Structure 1
Amino acid sequence: MAMDLVPAPRSVEHGEGAFVLGEATALVAGPGTETVARWLRNTVGVALGRPMPPGEAGTPGAIELRIDADLEPEAYRLTVTHRVEIVGGSAAGVFWGAQTLRQLLGPDAYRKACADPGARRGITRQVVEDAPRFAWRGLMLDVSRHFMPKDGVLRYLDLLAAHKLNVFHFHLTDDQGWRVEIKRFPRLTEVGAWRARTKYGHRASELWDEKPHGGFYTQDDIREIVAYAAERHISVVPEIDIPGHSQAAIAAYPELGNTDVIDTTRLSVWDTWGVNPNVLAPTDNTLRFYEGVLEEVLELFPAETSPFVHIGGDECPKDQWKASPAAQARIKELGLDGEDGLQSWFIRHFDRWLADRGRRAIGWDEILEGGLAPGAAVSSWRGYAGGIEAARAGHDVVMCPEQQVYLDHRQAPGPDEPMPIGYVRTLEDVYRFEPVPPQLTEAEARHVLGTQANVWTEVMQDQGRVDYQVFPRLAAFAEVAWSALPAPAARDFADFERRMRSHYPRLDALGVAYRPPGGPLPWQKRPGVLGRPIDGSPPNV
């Protein structure tokens, strides 16, 4: 039924009768929809054992894809009568309509091969009209703390598309690993992509995984990921962290660190979690190095699909700069306002550098400290305050507050959550998240590009752990980002839970190891590893 759709559409009108997807059902691709047609054949067609041969416009009983520029770019209208017509304001709108068609065809449409060739594939007659609330509907995936192989990344792009999410924030560098091949600086992956061991659990845990960990994406891997995302109308935002979260880079190239304060040649890729004191030195050599890195990054992530480049800017301790004669001389030379001004100098430099090449910089809300260039955008993670400040100053904002949409945080207060950290944020909590702060005026609110959920992987060693933390909460988040929902207190969570009863079998067919509504399965439970109890949660003992 259409009312079991996730995320909820704007409107549905039901009719009498049904459309049946048969062996001879043709697929008619209007101009500009050819990629969507290929996706439908290769996913839904294969899953249901329906070849969907090409057809001409007006073919009786066909599925017809068409673009109508009078609709909003990502809007669509799905009409099911004796045939199916999906009309979108652009190819993206047609694609989101095709995702709705897939949901209507049932869980079997999410399989990799046809499990029941003889099954009847029917859809009740109806008209679904829909469009997203926000242009930026994203997921940030940290592949630095625990590397996710390329196939896993492609799988997550499919999971984003299935939930009508259209931004993949790709966290590629951090203290614990550098994950993208940079040909002019090969040690970034030869050295920086690997660590000897890994803290097991929260940083206060006494346990270690002594197995070496690492991995990276070759440049061809990145090109494949970007192309795969583009076919699914997903923009990829690469993140290259500066000036903090940089120990992996400094371990590979010690001259990038504050060599007059510490012996950077003794640093290795960090094997634990937290805020790292080893930050980049404010030298011309560092600027030229990261310009070289970003030149290759821009080639790998074309402007058409990746207009934004994330430059981090968060959690940059200033202790080494305070102790460094070279850093203090730099502050004096540039006439900066202390160490905060030095961080702002880093950010402004790369903001201008990116703008000169037709890109937009985006960073975590700490980049507001010391002043921010006009074109830069802000990821508001430390609550709403940074986003409010940025929007009032005329900067575009992506709302991703830790207290609401950090999906690495625990989903329940009980002792069974595996490696429990952070705030308790239930499925209902995420469903009641509101991205636009009420303090903003209508004009200021227009600077809220949208929202994203963030997934930091310190305690997620493999795909199953990522799945457990992300789902089913990502489905609730997707509805917040896509649907025109009422104010949080007025949202019908009971109806969402009812629709989720139809959505769980779709996730099952996709092989998603989500957290069941009744709590973790025996093999998903906490293995007795120390977590981080806050927000009134019971202690972990």
Structure 2
Amino acid sequence: MTTFDCLVPRPVGVTPAPGRFVLDAGTTLAADAGAASAARWLRQVLGAATGLALPPSTVDARIELRVDQGVVREAEGYRLEITPEVVRVTAADAAGAFYAAQTVRQLLGPDAFRAANVHSGGWSLPCGVVVDRPRFGWRGCLLDVARHFMPKNALLRFVDLLAAHKLNVLHLHLTDDQGWRMEIKRYPRLTEVGAWRHGSRVGWRRDDSHDGRPHGGFYTQADLHEIVAYAAERGVTVVPEIDVPGHVQAALAAYPELGNTGERLDVWPLWGVSENVLNMSDSTVKFFQNVFDEVVDVFPSPVVCIGGDEVPTVQWQRSPEARRRAAELGLADVTELHGWFLRQMAERLADHGRRVLGWDEMAEGAMPEGAIVASWRGEEAGAMAAAEGYDVVMCPEQHVYLDHRQSEHPDEPVPVGFLSTLQDFYRYDPLPAGLDAATAHRVLGSQAQVWTEHLDSPRRVDYAAFPRLVAFAEVVWSPREARDLADFERRLAEHHLPRLDALGVEYRPLTGPLPWQTRPGVPGRPRARAQSSSGTSSQHAT
């Protein structure tokens, strides 16, 4: 029988009690206005899995969800009390009510994660009290849909998987050299041309070869409105990223006048860092201000990512126009055009009431006011930004990149990047050693990254993300002092992998890849951790 020692992430506190609460045809489910979305979700998933209607009731509901900040004060926190007579959830907010509902689902066992009732016997919950709240407010995962497009139904499924692990941010990497994935109505060629490439490099190679197989796709604004609404119902904020002023070759293929050379370009079929970057003319600034105007109309997120990473200055150095522009602006050198352009975008977004998130290269220049730094090349840039009064999201490639290889197993498919095992993910802590207490509050949380150069399908994303994302979820949710690797591994093997099986997640088995998960003959590029902080190799092309 399922008990409280099955829960992932591990809750703050559990007090077991004798007895069990039995769900049957007479079980009702009610919620106040603040918990209505959580109740709607719980009725939907449990109705499918158990065959029970769980109808609403205005009196004597057997499962009750409500929001009461007088009882639960911490954001996203909840108190779950289960007795033989009633299941009572009290939450600080709608998100807390939803996470309590996720806990209820876990306590019912793996069959509660199926889309139809295959369960034999009755359904019941152990009695006791769970008191829970997250350690960090930003518990994110980046999904790169620019390198390999993720169809909408697969993206909605990915949202469900984040929510099942109490993660609350989906950072959607929508544009890059290899593809532009968001419809911009003012500039239709961004998707008519920029969403399609004529091939993809397979594995890691130093030549210009690719498979010659066309690849592409994009989301209409209606699609993205749907994704945002679907995620919001599950406590997930979608943070869009439009990467500028580098990683823009797909945009330049659509609108060559945005570039520095006048050369007509293709959407890039290779991985790495393209030298093709935006020019710094007033018309280019206006173009991307218009783009971000449409982005904020679609995404209500208070944070919008403007990228800013890996911006070669070779073309600016060669360009008389770029040198003149830098001089007109009073900049010391063309390298300062990078920070200047990011500030123009940040100011436009500020006019819409939004904050910018940018990769840690943004911190090398004059930072936009109120900016959030995503510290990817290591933790040093994040620690420095925090000390200077900026908020930080920790996402160092040495610790939380899910496309990096999971083992030294000889059959590990396309082994790139650092060795990042399940245990490595679990041992990571987003607060760097030595960060003083007065600065620690600037670390909003952490974010795992799924870059998809070598992940060309939802099946490959499953393999790369799971079960390491489960370990990451516990890192950002559970109290640091409560983490226990041996206990986590037990809960994972005994309880959580069966849940993933029920959900159809094609995770990497703990013993190594299954035959159909291997990629024989596709070269990788393993890296040693000692190379960690140079920033000379692309975060996107490991």
TM-score, normalization: structure 2? 0.95
User: 1:346: which partner in 2?
Assistant: 341
Identify which of 88, 96, 100 aligns with 2:99. 96
CA separation in 1, counterparts of 2:206 and 2:412? Answer: 17
The ranges of structure 1 where at least 4 consecutive aligned residues each deviate by more than 6 angstroms after the TM superposition are none
The amino acid across from 1:412 in the alignment is S
1:44 Cα deviation after fit: 1.8
Residue matched to 1:66 = 66
How far apart are 1:57 and its partner, in Å? 4.2
Unaligned stretches of 5+ residues in structure 2: 531-542
Residue 356 of structure 1: CA displacement? 1.7
Amino acid at match of 1:503: H
Instruction: Tell me if 1:442 matches 2:440.
Output: no
Please, which moves more after superposition, 124-133 or 338-347?
338-347
Offset, 1:519? 0.5
Counting only pairs closer than 5 Å after superposition, residues 330-369 of structure 1 correspond to structure 2 as 330-369=325-364
1:441, distance to aligned residue in structure 2 (A): 1.5
3-state SS of 1:434 partner: coil
Distance 1:79 1:339 in 2: 61
- Counterpart pick for 1:513 among 492, 496, 506: 506
Aligned to 2:452: 457
Q: 2:475 aligns with which of 477, 480, 486?
A: 480
Separation in 1 of the partners of 2:529 and 2:400? Answer: 18
Aligned equivalents of 1:206 and 1:320: distance in 2? 21
Match for 2:131: what amino acid? E
Q: Would the aligned equivalents of 2:430 and 2:445 in 1 still touch at CA under 8 Å?
A: yes
Could you tell which deviates more after superposition, 23-32 or 465-474? 23-32
Q: Distance in 2 between matches of 1:113 and 1:491?
A: 34
Contact 1:14 1:126 in 2 (8 A): yes
Alignment of 1:16-165 (within 5 A): 16-59=18-61, 62-70=62-70, 71=72, 72-82=74-84, 83-116=86-119, 119-165=121-167
Choose which of 166, 169, 180 in structure 2 pairs with 1:167.
169
* 1:495 matched to 2:487: yes
Q: Who is 1:387 aligned against?
A: 382
Which one of the candidate residues 426, 430, 441 is aligned to 2:425? 430
Please give the root-mean-square deviation of Cα atoms over the aligned residues, in Å. 1.3
Deviation, 1:375, is 0.7
* 1:340 to partner: Cα distance: 2.7
Q: Trace 1:306-317 onto structure 2 (pairs within 5 A).
A: 306-317=301-312
Query: Aligned partners of 2:280 and 2:380: how far apart in 1?
Result: 28
TM-superposed deviation, 1:12: 0.6
* AA partner of residue 495 (structure 1): D
Within 5 A, what are the aligned runs for 1:137-216?
Answer: 137-204=139-206, 208-216=210-218
CA shift at 1:358, angstroms? 0.3
User: Within 2, Cα distance between the matches of 1:340 and 1:365?
Assistant: 16
- The aligned residue for residue 286 of structure 1 is 284
Count of residues paired in the alignment: 524
| Matching residue's letter, 2:246 | G
> What SS does the corresponding residue of 1:44 show, helix, strand or coil?
helix
The 8 Å contact of residues 399 and 450 in structure 1, kept in 2 or not, is answered as: yes
- The one of 266, 283, 300 equivalent to 1:268 is 266
Alpha-carbon separation, structure 1, partners of 2:380 and 2:237 = 26
User: Are the counterparts in 1 of residues 210 and 270 from structure 2 also a CA contact under 8 Å?
Assistant: no
Q: 1:57 to 1:433 in 2, by over 3 A?
A: farther
Does the 8 A contact of 2:172 with 2:238 survive in 1?
Answer: yes
Deviation of the 1:414 alpha carbon: 2.1
Any idea what the Cα deviations from partners look like across 1:89-111, whole Å, max 9, x if unmatched?
Answer: 11111100000000001111111
Amino acid of the structure 1 residue aligned with 2:174: L
What SS class does the counterpart of residue 305 from structure 2 fall into?
strand
Pairwise CA distance, 1:327: 0.3
Q: 2:161, 2:529 → 1: CA distance?
A: 33
Write the letter of the residue equivalent to 2:513.
P
**Residue 505 of structure 1 aligns to which amino acid in structure 2?**
P
C-alpha displacement of 1:374: 2.6
- The alignment partner of 1:32 has SS state of helix
Structure 2 distance, partners of 1:134, 1:15, is 29
| Offset of residue 206 of structure 1 | 7.7
Query: Among 518, 524, 528, which residue is 2:517 paired with?
Result: 524
CA distance in 2, matches of 1:378, 1:177: 24
Larger mean CA deviation between 158-167 and 440-449 belongs to 440-449
Q: How much does 1:250 deviate?
A: 0.4
> Structure 1-normalised TM-score?
0.95
3-state secondary structure, aligned to 2:269: coil
CA–CA separation in structure 1 for the residues paired with 2:503 and 2:340 = 46
> What is the rounded CA distance, in whole Å, between the counterparts of 1:459 and 1:74 in structure 2?
35
Q: State the Cα distance separating 1:85 from its structure 2 match.
A: 0.8
Contact 1:74–1:131, Cα closer than 8 Å, also in 2:
yes
Q: Bigger shift: 276-285 or 437-446?
A: 437-446
1:180-235 per-residue CA deviation (whole Å, 9 max, x = no partner) reads 00011000000000000110111437863221000000010000000001111111
Structure 1 counterpart of 2:528, which letter? Answer: D
Equivalent residue for 2:461, pick from 457, 466, 479: 466
The equivalent of 1:299 in structure 2 is 297
- Give the whole-Å Cα distance in 2 for the aligned partners of 1:188 and 1:536: 37
Percent identity between matched residues is 57
Query: Is 2:398–2:529's contact at 8 Å kept on the other side of the alignment?
Result: no
* Deviation of the 1:384 alpha carbon: 0.2
Contact 1:205 1:531 in 2 (8 A): no
1:218 and 1:384 map into 2 onto residues whose CA distance is 36
Residues 144 and 173, structure 2, Cα contact 8 Å, conserved in 1 = yes
- Displacement of 1:439 in angstroms is 2.4
1:491: how far off? 4.5
Q: Which amino acid aligns with 1:264?
A: E
> Matched residues in 1 for 2:50 and 2:483: separation?
35
Please give the per-residue CA displacement for 1:312-364, whole angstroms capped at 9, x wherever unaligned.
Answer: 00000000000000000011111112133110101111111111210001100
In the superposition, relative to structure 1, how do residues 182 and 56 fare at CA in structure 2: closer, same or farther (>3 Å)? same
Structure-2 separation of matches of 1:252 and 1:81? 61
Partner of 2:456: helix, strand, or coil?
coil
The 8 Å contact of residues 404 and 420 in structure 2, kept in 1 or not, is answered as yes
In structure 2, do the counterparts of structure 1 residues 429 and 205 end up closer, same or farther at CA, with 3 Å as the change threshold? farther
Is 1:6 aligned to residue 8 of structure 2?
Answer: yes
Quickly say closer, same or farther: Cα 1:57–1:87, change in 2 above 3 A: farther
Tell me if structure 2 keeps the 8 A contact 1:102–1:109: yes
Cα pair 1:175 1:247 within 8 Å, conserved: yes
Q: Is the 8 A contact 1:146 1:457 kept in 2?
A: yes
Distance 2:283 2:59 in 1: 60
Name the CA shift for 1:527/1:206 in 2 (closer, same or farther; >3 Å). farther
Query: What is the alpha-carbon distance in structure 2 between the residues aligned to residue 404 and residue 522 of structure 1?
Result: 27
Alpha carbons 1:205, 1:530 under 8 Å: kept? no
Q: Is the 8 A contact 1:360 1:375 kept in 2?
A: yes
| SS at 1:47 equivalent | helix
Report SS of the residue matched to 1:274. Answer: coil
- CA offsets per residue over residues 222-255 of structure 1, 9 Å max, x none? 0000000111111110000110000000000000
Structure 1 stretches of 5 or more lacking a match? none
Supply the AA of the counterpart residue of 1:209: D
